Chains A and B, each alone.
Chain A
Amino acid sequence: MKNIKKVLCLTAAAAMVASAVMPTAVFAEEETFKIGVIGPMTGDYAQYGVGVYLGAQVAVEEINAAGGINGYQIELLDAGDDMGDPEKSVNAYYDLLDNGMQILCGTVTSGAGIAVGAEAAESTFMFTPSGTAVDVITSGSNEFRMCFTDPMQGVKSAEFISEHELGTKIAIIYDSMADYNTGIHDAFIEAADTYGLEIVADEAYTTDSNSDFSVQLSKVAESGAEILFLPNYYNDNALILQQAADIDLQATIFGVDGMDGILSVENFDTSLAEDVMLLLSFAASDESEATQSFVSAFQEKSDGLVPNQFAADAYDVIYAIKDAAEDAGITPDMSNEDISAAMTASMLNIECDRLTGHTTWTEDGECEKDPKAVVIKNGVYEFVD
Chain B
Amino acid sequence: MMSFISYLISGINLGSVYAIIALGYTMVYGIAKMLNFAHGDVIMVGAFVILTAITKAGLAPWMSVLLAIVICTLMGITIEAIAYRPLRKAASPLAVLITAIGVSYLLQNLALLLFGADAKSFVTIINVPNVSLFGGQLTIKGITIVTIIVSAIIMTVLTLFVKRTKPGRAMQAVSEDKDAAQLMGVNVNTTISLTFAIGSGLAAIAGLLLCSAYPTLTPYTGSMPGIKAFVAAVFGGIGSIPGAMVGGILLGIIEIFGRAYISTQIADAICFAVLIIVLLVKPTGLFGKNVQEKV
The residue of chain A having its C-beta at the shortest distance from the C-beta of B210 within the complex is: A211
Given known A211-B216, A239-B216, contact A268–B256 (CB-CB < 8 A):
no
- Asked if A218 is at the interface (CB within 8 A of a chain B CB), the reply is yes
Say yes or no: B256 contacts A46, CB within 8 Å: no
Number of A-B residue pairs with CB-CB distance less than 8 Å in the complex they form: 92
Number of B residues near A (Cβ < 8 Å) is 34
Q: How far is the CA of A205 from the CA of B214 in the complex (A)?
A: 15
Q: How far is the CA of A47 from the CA of B141 in the complex (A)?
A: 32
Say yes or no: A235 contacts B216, CB within 8 Å: yes
- Asked if B190 is at the interface (CB within 8 A of a chain A CB), the reply is no
Q: How far is the CA of A44 from the CA of B224 in the complex (A)?
A: 15
Given known A212-B14, A215-B256, contact A238–B119 (CB-CB < 8 A):
yes
- Output the least CB separation between B161 and chain A (Å): 31
Say yes or no: A216 contacts B218, CB within 8 Å: no
- Asked if B118 is at the interface (CB within 8 A of a chain A CB), the reply is yes
Say yes or no: A266 contacts B121, CB within 8 Å: yes
Given known A176-B265, A238-B216, contact A46–B6 (CB-CB < 8 A):
no
- Output the least CB separation between B234 and chain A (Å): 18
- Output the least CB separation between A116 and chain B (Å): 21
- Output the least CB separation between B180 and chain A (Å): 43
Q: How far is the CA of A219 from the CA of B3 in the complex (A)?
A: 9
- Best-buried of B6, B51, B264 by chain A (most CB within 10 Å): B264
Number of A residues near B (Cβ < 8 Å) is 35
- Output the least CB separation between B175 and chain A (Å): 33
Q: How far is the CA of A47 from the CA of B120 in the complex (A)?
A: 12
Residues on B with beta carbons closer than 8 Å to the beta carbon of A239: 214-216
- Asked if B60 is at the interface (CB within 8 A of a chain A CB), the reply is no
- Asked if B98 is at the interface (CB within 8 A of a chain A CB), the reply is no
Say yes or no: B121 contacts A208, CB within 8 Å: no
Q: How far is the CA of A214 from the CA of B138 in the complex (A)?
A: 13
The residue of chain A having its C-beta at the shortest distance from the C-beta of B109 within the complex is: A42
Q: How far is the CA of A214 from the CA of B220 in the complex (A)?
A: 21
Give the residues from 202 to 227 in chain A that come closer than 8 angstroms, CB to CB, to chain B. 203-206, 208-209, 211-212, 214-216, 218-219, 222
The residue of chain B having its C-beta at the shortest distance from the C-beta of A173 within the complex is: B264
Say yes or no: A267 contacts B265, CB within 8 Å: no
Given contacts A204-B264, A239-B214, 8 further A-B contacts (CB under 8 A): A44-B220, A206-B264, A215-B10, A234-B119, A238-B119, A239-B216, A242-B121, A267-B123
Q: Which B positions have Cβ atoms within 8 angstroms of A?
A: 3, 6-7, 10, 14, 51, 55, 112, 116-123, 139, 141, 214-216, 218, 220, 224-225, 255-256, 259-260, 263-265, 267-268
Q: Which A positions have Cβ atoms within 8 angstroms of B?
A: 42-47, 176-177, 203-206, 208-209, 211-212, 214-216, 218-219, 222, 234-235, 238-239, 242, 246-247, 264-269
